[in-house]
Amino acid sequence: MPPKKRQSIGEVHPKTRRTKVMRACETPEQRDARVEQSRLRMSASRAIETHEVRRDRLEEDRHRRAASRANETTEQREARVEENRVRIVQTRELLRQNNLKLEAFKYDPQYDYQGRTYILER
């Protein structure tokens, strides 16, 4: 029997193409439902994994990330670092806003609030 023909390296599998089309056509609600199902599935999968399996998975992730970073160009690295900076700034801003909402519960009668310009009056 002749050997099985190998798939071309550049060829996209029909299932992959079909999935891409389906995702492009889905509504935001369908996307949210799909992402939530995926999140729940991963959560359940990771809940039952042992300590050793988790350690091995994280170790593989570290090696994969290190290899990826070793192969990236200077421009790619700068873009990745900039994306991280933006994401961190946005996260910190959200945390700051959430903490500011709780500041009213920490009223200190000894503190001179009228002398502070950054406090908003409503």
Residue type, 109: P
Tell me the one-letter amino acid at 29. E
| Cα(84)–Cα(90) distance, integer angstroms | 10
Domain assignment of residue 100, yes or no: yes
**Residue 8 included in any domain:** no
Within-domain flag for 1: no
**pTM (2 decimals)?**
0.51
pLDDT in tens, the chain (122 residues): 677 777 677 888 899 999 999 999 999 999 999 999 999 999 999 999 999 999 999 999 999 999 999 999 999 999 999 999 999 999 998 888 877 777 767 777 887 777 766 655 55
> Among the residues of 48-73, which ranges form H helices?
51-71
Is residue 79 one of the residues assigned to a domain? Answer: yes
Structural domain range at position 34? 16-104
In a domain, 109, yes or no: no
* Cβ count near 36 (within 10 Å): 10
Q: Is residue 111 part of a domain?
A: no
Specify the number of domains making up the chain.
Answer: 1
Among residues 33, 5, 34, the alpha carbon closest in space to that of 19 is found at 34
